[in-house]
C-alpha cells in the first residue's frame, strides 16, 4: 500500500516539473520570434545594402559622366582612346533583342507543354515528362553558351548565310530554351490548381477538351501564367554566360539580329575581368549599368504585380 505522504510528495514534484516545463516553453516562445525576426532581417538588410551600394556608386559615376548623355546616348565606347562615350541605349537594345527572341521561343512552347501536362498527359507521363523538363533548368549556363556558339550558330548559318559567328539570334534562341522549364512548370502548377468542377461544367455544356483548356482553364489560371512569364523574362534579362559567349561584345543601337551585340550583363562581365582600374569612369560604369538593370527588373515586377492583381479580380 502506497504511503499518502509519498503520494503527496510525488504530486508536488510533478507540479514543480510541470511549472519548470511551462517556464521553459514560455522562454522558447519568446526567443523563437526574435530569432525568426533576425533571420528575416538578414534578407532585408542584404537587399538594402545592395541597393545602397548601387545608388552610391552610380551617383559617383554621374559626377564624372553627364546623366543625360548616359540615358540618351547612342554610343557605348568606354575603352575608346580618343573620347570615352557612355550612352546606355546600345546595351539596352542588346538586352532587349536577346530577351525578345527568348520570349518568342519560350512562351508558346512552355504554354503548350503546360497545357499538355495539365489537361492531356496521364499521371505516368506527367511523372516522367515534368522532371525531365525541370532538369533543363539545372544545366549550367556556360554549357548552354557553348551549345549556342558551337551548334546553334552553325545550324543557323546554313539558313542565314550572312549571320555572323557572334549574333543575337543564337543566344536568344538558347536562352529561350533555358527558360522553357520555368514557364512550363509554373504554368502547369497554376492550371492544375483550377477546380475540376469548372472543367466538368464546360464538358457538360458540350465543349471539347481543347476548348476547355483554352477557354476555361487558361483564363482561370492566367494570373499564375503571367507570373511565370514575367519570372522567365526577368531570368532572360539577367542571363550572363550565354550572351557573353555567343552574343559577342559589340554594343549596337539598331534592330539587326544577325550581328554581334552586347547586353548589360555581358558588359559587366567584360569589365569585371580586370580591364578597368579602380576609381575610373569605366569602373563606376559597372554600377550604373547594374542599377539600370535593377530598375528594369523592378519596373517589370511592379507591372506584373498590377496585371496579376487585375486578372485575379476579374476572374
Dist. CA 115–CA 121, nearest whole Å: 9
Comparing C-alpha atoms, which of 294, 247, 248, 288 is closest to residue 268? Answer: 288
Cell numbers standing for residue 113: 507543354
Rounded to an integer, the average pLDDT of 17-42 is 74
Cell numbers standing for residue 209: 477538351
CA geometry: angle 292, 297, 303, nearest 5 deg: 125
Dist. CA 11–CA 35, nearest whole Å: 36
Q: Which residue has the cell 534579362?
A: 237
pLDDT tens string 116-154:
888 888 888 888 887 888 788 788 888 999 999 999 999
pTM (two decimals): 0.81
Write the CA distances from 268 to 86, 249, 310, integer angstroms: 13, 11, 36
- The answer, yes or no, to whether residue 187 has pLDDT greater than 90, is no
Phi, psi dihedral angles at 202 (to 5 degrees): -65, -40
Per-residue pLDDT at 171: 92
pLDDT tens string 57-116:
888 888 888 888 888 888 888 877 777 788 889 999 999 999 999 999 999 999 998 888
Q: No. of H helices and E strands in the chain?
A: 14, 2
Dist. CA 255–CA 91, nearest whole Å: 12
Amino acid at each position: 500500500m502506497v504511503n499518502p505522504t509519498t503520494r503527496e510528495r510525488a504530486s508536488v514534484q510533478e507540479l514543480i516539473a510541470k511549472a519548470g516545463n511551462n517556464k521553459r516553453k514560455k522562454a522558447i516562445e519568446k526567443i523563437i520570434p526574435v530569432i525568426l525576426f533576425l533571420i528575416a532581417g538578414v534578407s532585408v538588410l542584404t537587399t538594402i545594402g545592395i541597393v545602397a551600394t548601387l545608388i552610391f556608386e552610380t551617383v559617383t559615376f554621374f559626377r564624372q559622366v553627364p546623366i543625360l548623355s548616359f540615358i540618351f546616348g547612342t554610343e557605348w565606347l568606354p575603352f575608346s582612346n580618343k573620347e570615352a562615350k557612355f550612352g546606355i541605349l546600345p546595351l539596352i537594345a542588346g538586352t532587349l533583342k536577346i530577351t525578345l527572341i527568348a520570349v518568342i521561343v519560350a512562351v508558346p512552347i512552355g504554354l503548350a507543354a503546360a497545357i499538355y501536362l495539365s489537361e492531356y498527359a496521364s499521371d505516368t507521363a506527367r511523372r516522367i515528362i515534368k522532371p525531365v523538363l525541370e532538369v533543363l533548368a539545372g544545366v549550367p549556363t556556360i554549357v548552354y553558351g557553348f551549345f549556342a556558339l558551337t551548334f546553334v550558330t552553325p545550324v543557323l548559318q546554313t539558313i542565314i548565310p550572312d549571320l555572323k559567328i557572334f549574333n543575337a539570334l543564337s543566344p536568344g534562341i538558347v536562352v529561350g530554351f533555358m527558360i522553357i522549364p520555368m514557364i512550363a512548370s509554373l504554368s502547369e502548377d497554376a492550371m492544375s490548381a483550377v477546380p475540376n468542377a469548372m472543367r466538368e461544367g464546360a464538358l457538360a455544356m458540350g465543349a471539347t477538351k481543347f476548348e476547355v483548356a483554352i477557354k476555361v482553364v487558361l483564363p482561370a489560371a492566367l494570373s499564375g501564367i503571367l507570373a511565370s512569364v514575367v519570372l522567365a523574362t526577368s531570368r532572360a534579362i539577367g542571363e550572363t554566360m550565354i550572351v557573353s559567349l555567343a552574343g559577342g561584345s559589340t554594343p549596337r543601337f539598331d534592330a539587326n539580329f544577325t550581328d554581334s551585340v552586347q547586353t548589360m550583363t555581358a558588359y559587366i562581365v567584360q569589365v569585371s575581368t580586370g580591364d578597368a582600374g579602380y576609381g575610373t569612369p569605366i569602373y563606376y560604369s559597372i554600377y550604373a549599368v547594374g542599377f539600370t538593370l535593377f530598375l528594369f527588373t523592378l519596373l517589370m515586377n511592379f507591372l506584373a504585380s498590377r496585371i496579376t492583381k487585375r486578372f485575379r479580380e476579374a476572374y
